[in-house]
């Protein structure tokens, strides 16, 4: 056989030791420890772990920073602060994932989630959960012009059959009573401003519904409506066959529209 056209493969011993010859390697620094792992050797996909300490004896851990590769959920960096009960995660963008960009979570207090701007399923770009109190979301590029949605609830209130309930993500076994739901909509320049809803507030604690409309160009005031929620539900369900045969008035159509908005917001 003729000799190979390529030169003989040579790997420097020092360069080989700088990598992970046995699949993992640990290096110590001042107030820091770095663990290296070869790719595809760990079940969670970790390739490097940086542990930062507060003292020179490396006893009090300040932060644990992990780097990942080749994960299905596209997790790239995870930072944990043990004494603060805080978790921070960063994700790569992919069409096969949920386009989650960043996560900040403090156990028992709140969780913040950022999404990539090209998320096209529902337009969600930010979500914050204040555990046990409130959850709100921001949207972008939706057909219904929705930009904000929030819900305030009470986890300690007594759940009744007539009250709207919310099953919290952090405690699936507990149903919380909703006190208020709020939605905000941006203005569509192609339609009259005074006919477009700017904000809807379903205050279940006061049993009231508040509807606010956008300002018309050149006006400093806008119209708003107040409805009694219990009357809306009663009028929406009541009615015999004779009333159904009659043409719906503008007021009934408005009431039915408000009920539909409340149902979609609760869903």
DSSP category for residue 4: P
* The dihedral formed by the CA atoms of 45, 50, 54 and 59, expressed in degrees to the nearest 10: 70
* CB half-sphere exposure, 32, CA atoms < 13 A: 7
**List of residues 6+ apart from 157 with CB closer than 8 A:** 163, 176, 177, 179
DSSP category for residue 37: E
pLDDT on residue 120: 65
pLDDT per residue rounded down to tens, the chain (267 residues): 888 888 888 888 777 766 777 788 899 999 999 999 988 888 999 999 999 999 999 999 999 999 999 888 889 999 999 999 999 999 988 766 567 899 999 998 999 999 987 766 788 899 999 988 899 999 998 888 999 999 998 867 665 655 677 776 666 566 788 889 999 999 988 888 888 899 999 998 888 899 999 888 887 878 888 888 877 766 655 554 455 545 467 777 877 888 888 888 888
pLDDT on residue 218: 80
User: What secondary structure does DSSP assign to 206-222, as a single string?
Assistant: TTEEEEEEPPPTT-S--
Nearest to 132 by CA among 153, 149, 105: 153
d(CA 219, CA 70): 56
pLDDT on residue 247: 46
pLDDT on residue 245: 45
Domain boundaries, the chain: 22-92
Nearest to 237 by CA among 162, 169, 167: 162
DSSP category for residue 9: P
DSSP category for residue 8: P
């Amino acid at each position: 056989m003729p000799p190979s056209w390529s030169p003989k493969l040579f790997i420097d011993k020092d360069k080989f030791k700088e990598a992970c010859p046995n699949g993992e390697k640990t290096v110590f620094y001042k107030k820091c420890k770095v663990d290296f792992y070869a790719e595809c050797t760990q079940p969670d996909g970790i390739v490097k772990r940086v542990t930062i300490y507060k003292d020179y004896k490396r006893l009090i851990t300040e932060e644990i920073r992990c780097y990942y590769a080749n994960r299905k959920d596209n997790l790239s960096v995870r930072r944990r602060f043990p004494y603060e009960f805080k978790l921070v995660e960063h994700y790569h963008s992919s069409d096969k994932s949920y386009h989650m960009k960043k996560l900040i979570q403090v156990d028992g207090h709140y969780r913040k989630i950022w999404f990539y701007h090209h998320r096209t399923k529902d337009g969600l770009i930010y979500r914050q959960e204040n555990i046990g109190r409130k959850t709100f979301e921001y949207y972008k590029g939706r057909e219904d012009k929705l930009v904000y949605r929030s819900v305030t609830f009470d986890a300690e209130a007594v759940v009744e059959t007539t009250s709207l309930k919310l099953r919290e993500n952090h405690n699936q076994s507990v149903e919380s009573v909703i006190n208020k739901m709020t939605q905000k909509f941006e203005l569509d320049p192609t339609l009259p401003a005074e006919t477009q809803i700017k904000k809807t507030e379903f205050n279940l604690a006061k049993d009231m519904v508040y509807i606010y409309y956008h300002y018309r160009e050149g006006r400093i005031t806008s119209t708003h409506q107040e409805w009694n929620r219990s009357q809306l539900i009663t009028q929406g369900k009541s009615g015999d066959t004779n009333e159904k045969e009659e043409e719906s008035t503008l007021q009934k159509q408005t009431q039915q529209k408000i009920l539909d908005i409340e149902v979609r917001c609760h869903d």
